[in-house]
Amino acid sequence: MAHLGERLRQQRVAMGVSLQHISEQTRIGVRYLEALEAGDFKQLPGAIFARSFVRQYAEIVGTDASSLESELQQIFPSEDTFSPVDFNQSTLRATLQNDTLLAAEGPVWKRLPLTALSLATALVISSLLYVGWQRVVLHNETSEPAVAQQAPAAKPPVSKADPTTPPVVPAAVSTPEPAPQPKPTTELQAPPGNGVPGAMAVRVVAREKTWVSIMANGRFLYSGILQPYEERTVTGVEWARVVIGNSTGVDLETDGRSIGPIGPRGSVRVVVLTAGNPPRILQNIDKPPQPTESEAGTKLD
């Protein structure tokens, strides 16, 4: 029958658990676990520790530790089972690292490992540095408000207004007026004429605010005030009469060609336009202008 350690090893292998995993879970050194599996129980630190190692190992690999108690008592009956450890200085030098060497005699602090002493010293120094840093921070935090209270910000002097001096009113910001935009063209259709060839298009464009009246082919088509950049276009004109309240306030075109100056600023003029003839500019508007003999054929009855 296999010994206890071999059975535990077989159970571990069957479960696929490594010795490193058991060591990490139980904090037992791998060399002790290897000695336990090999049945070399003399390598274990003592009966009490050996029994504890077996119980922890069994729990990791899924074996009921209580079923092993009788066997553990036979294998590890007491502490006397193993040879006592020689605690002389030569044995410690062979089993411990140089930095954990213990002094067999002397004061308590000399019997501590050098690593423990170094760690304790580092902790003390770190604590002192932390306490000093806290004091500096707290001192700065408590001193800054005091300084702020001792030296409040000076308020600007308030000058009393002289009752005899009128208050200063800020100048209004002038906003430039937007440039006038051209207004859409309003096209008018002259009534049918006598069918004279060469019917033209008459276009009136306002440069200034001007009153205008338009008659074409014997019928009034428009009478009103044109605003700057406003215009009227009449198509199919055989004969037309245009009355202008301000002679310099409009441009008058026939088929896209300007007829030129109409009259001085502020004067009233009547412009008679006939297809195929030059324009006539009249000053007297008491009577409606009569067409000439050449124009008679184009005027509507």
The total of other beta-carbon atoms located within 10 Å of residue 249's CB is: 21
- Counting the structural domains of the chain, the total is 2
| pLDDT at residue 32 tops 70 | yes
Residue 130 lies in a domain: no
Residue 67 lies in a domain: yes
Residue 34 lies in a domain: yes
Q: Which of 40, 55, 81 is the last residue of a domain?
A: 81
- The confidence score (pLDDT) of residue 117 equals 67
Q: What is the mean pLDDT of the chain?
A: 74
Q: Which of 45, 62, 81 is the last residue of a domain?
A: 81
Q: Which of 81, 97, 119 is the last residue of a domain?
A: 81
| Per-residue model confidence as pLDDT tens digits over 124-141 | 787 787 777 667 656 655
| pLDDT at residue 119 tops 60 | yes
- Per-residue pLDDT averaged across 14-26, rounded? 91
* Residues spanned by the domain of 214: 186-296
Residue 100 lies in a domain: no
- The confidence score (pLDDT) of residue 168 equals 59
Residue 111 lies in a domain: no
Q: Which residues contact 83 (CB under 8 A, 6 or more apart)?
A: 42
- Residue 22 sits in a domain whose CATH number is 1.10.260.40
Q: 281 is written with which tokens? A: 């500019």
Residue 154 lies in a domain: no
- Per-residue pLDDT averaged across 95-103, rounded? 38
pTM: 0.36
Residue 259 lies in a domain: yes
Residue 163 lies in a domain: no
| Per-residue model confidence as pLDDT tens digits over 58-95 | 898 888 888 888 887 888 776 544 444 444 444 444 44
- Per-residue pLDDT averaged across 32-38, rounded? 90
What Rg value do the Cα atoms of the chain yield, rounded?
Answer: 61
256, 205 Cβ separation under 8 angstroms: no
| pLDDT at residue 97 tops 60 | no
Q: 247 is written with which tokens? A: 């002679």
